[in-house]
Amino acid sequence: MTAQVTSGPAAPREDEHLLADITATIGRVVRSVTEVGAAMTALAAAARSGRRPLRRADLAALRPLVGQVLTRHRGFAAGAGVVLAPDALTDAPRCIDWWWADRGSGPGQLEVDLDPASAEFYDYTTTEWYREPARTGQPCVAGPYVDYICTHEYTFTVSVPMVDDSRFVGVAGADILAGEVERMLLPKLSLLGRAGRPAVLVSGNGRVIASSTARILPGTVLRSSGTSTAAAGRLPWMLIGGPEPAA
């Protein structure tokens, strides 16, 4: 069943209040990830000015920073790393250097099939978290989506573009579990919901992130919610009123 909404966007102030904490928390992850991206960009710039090839092995220099993202945001960021634009490196046409957080057995590196000829080819260039920063030059909060590649959970991915000398070289990013985001949002959303009509938070493409009613569940799509665009420094999410409670 596709949920229908009867009322439009909530007042902007309600929206900001609800999102203040989560915006700040995700903002901190974006800042951490931006440090990783800056380090990668510096590597690319150094290689360019020194006329040296940029190699896969050079990425090892980023790992302490990636590790820092995971420890600094422990329990919130489930994975982090950099994903290179095709041909950004000289010795690998495509490259993912992504690590998942310690799950008892130490941090682990993600391995995926990046051979376009393979049946299991993972084409990251088509993902929202890669495509959007590449297109807009802005950070992006993609999802929620089922990440069967890395976290195996319902996930958001924050990503920032990496640009060297006006050339897009890839994204730095981190995975955030949708459950953690919902945990932060639900108390406030429920308070709002109690005040009157149900409150539903949707992503820019209409996917429900959190809701104060069991009649509109996370993961479903609010078809009539329209779209919202990402404003710098703000999450591309919208608080909208749910259907009027049944009489």
Binding site for another protein (CB under 8 A): 1-2, 103-105, 108, 110-113, 115, 118-121, 123, 126, 128, 144-146, 148, 152-154, 205-207, 219-221
Residue 242, token pair as written in the block: 């749910």
Task: Write down the least CB distance from residue 83 to another protein, Å.
Answer: 17
Residue 136 or 205 with smaller CB distance to another protein:
205
Tokens describing residue 132: 């959007």
- Whichever of 146 and 191 has its CB closer to another protein, that residue is 146
| CB neighbourhood size of 158 (10 A) | 27
Q: Closest approach of Cβ 7 to another protein, in Å?
A: 22
- DSSP for 6-65? SS-BPPHHHHHHHHHHHHHHHHHHHHHHHHHHHHHHHHHHHHHHTT----GGGGGGGHHH
Output 37 or 79, the one with its CB closest to another protein: 79
In the complex with another protein, the residue whose CB is nearer, 43 or 80, is: 80
Minimum CB distance to another protein smaller for 152 or for 167 = 152
Minimum gap (Å) between residue 126 Cβ and another protein? 7
Between 154 and 168, CB nearer to another protein: 154
Encode 148-188 in three state secondary structure: CCCCCCEEEEEEEEEEECCEEEEEEEEEEEHHHHHHHHHHH
Nearer to another protein, 163 or 221 (CB): 221
β-strands 238-241, 208-211 pairing: unpaired
Compute the distance between CA of residue 82 and CA of residue 21 in angstroms, rounded to an integer: 26
As a whole number of angstroms, the distance between CA 195 and CA 207 comes to 23
Contact 15, 239 (CB under 8 A): yes
Encode burial over 100-136: b for 16+ CB neighbours within 10 A, e otherwise. Answer: bbeeeeebeebeeebeeeeeeebebeebbbbbbbbee
Q: Please give the Cα distance from 205 to 228 (Å, whole number).
A: 7
Task: State the minimum distance, in angstroms, from the CB of residue 242 to another protein.
Answer: 17
